[in-house]
Amino acid sequence: MANLGNPKNTIEILQKYHFNFQKKFGQNFLIDTHVLDKIIEASEITKDDCVLEIGPGIGTMTQYLAEHAGKVVAVEIDDHLIPILKDTLSSYDNVTIVHEDILKVDIGRIVWEQNGGEPIKVVANLPYYITTPIIMGLFESHVPLRSITVMVQKEVAQRMQVGPGTKDYGALSLAVQYYAKPQIVANVPPNCFMPRPNVGSAVIRLLRHDEPPVQVRDEKLLFTLIRAAFNQRRKTLVNALTNAQTLSVTKEEVLQALKQMDVPATIRGEALTLEQFAQLSDLLML
């Protein structure tokens, strides 16, 4: 089968099937073999791996994954792409195409059926408008996985790996770092895609922690606190938490907890580390 990393071959397939890009699905197909090589290299895929690909498009990266992995499960939502994928991937017997919405499909069930419940690796060129729900859904559902190597909007990748006190630091940074070690492995300019997106992109690798870096008594409360702290990031942490609909804490309780932590009462959420949020979460449970 023709290598779809070559733009000429991509155009031929799109014309053959009279394919129109769907804006609602955030479709931008990768047309750069160097970037594809870099993604495969960063994800450290071997023949022992089962890989979940989200949004395979016309199968460009799927072809690369199929050559390196033992098994590939590609989840695609767009009806129009299913016949194209069956064509472009016809020569690979280790690829399963699942015609579903990744946000609704039971990924845990896929992992059991395709990999006997053993940890998988996720590799994807993600639709930018649903990047965060996809990544958080994978982590929060506790699907067994080793790593996530994905193409995302550049500023989202930066947000995932920054620390406290920076303008990009937020709920996403803390959530990702609780579950995984993030590392940006490549920056990708718009001309590597068809059609060209309006933003720069980056490939980020999230290596799943064996154990979270902080121990916390109630994981759900920790993330409720974090979200509340950043929903009103210009406010002090005390005000942000006491105003939050999702929490039932009094001003006195928050002030008392901050005092025990030896943190000023005027602090904002963006100044707290993951460790401090975990400590605060445990103190507010008492």
Please list the residues that pair with 96 across neighbouring strands: 73
The interaxial angle of helices 219-231 and 171-179, nearest 10 deg, is 160
For the chain, domains (ranges, CATH) are: 7-208 (3.40.50.150), 219-285 (1.10.8.100)
- Percentage of the chain beyond pLDDT 70 is 99
Identify whether 56 is preceded by a cis peptide bond (ω within 30 of 0): no
pLDDT tens digits for range 36-48 = 999 999 999 999 9
Sort strands 145-153 and 120-125 into parallel, antiparallel or unpaired. parallel
Report percent pLDDT > 90 for the chain: 85
Over the stretch 84-132, which tens digit does the pLDDT of each residue have? 999 999 999 999 999 999 999 999 999 999 999 999 999 999 888 899 9
Please give the model's pTM, rounded to 2 decimal places.
Answer: 0.92
Instruction: Indicate whether 190 pLDDT > 90.
Output: yes
Q: Tokens at residue 34, please?
A: 């160097």
Q: Yes or no: say if 64 and 85 are a contact pair by the CB < 8 Å rule.
A: no
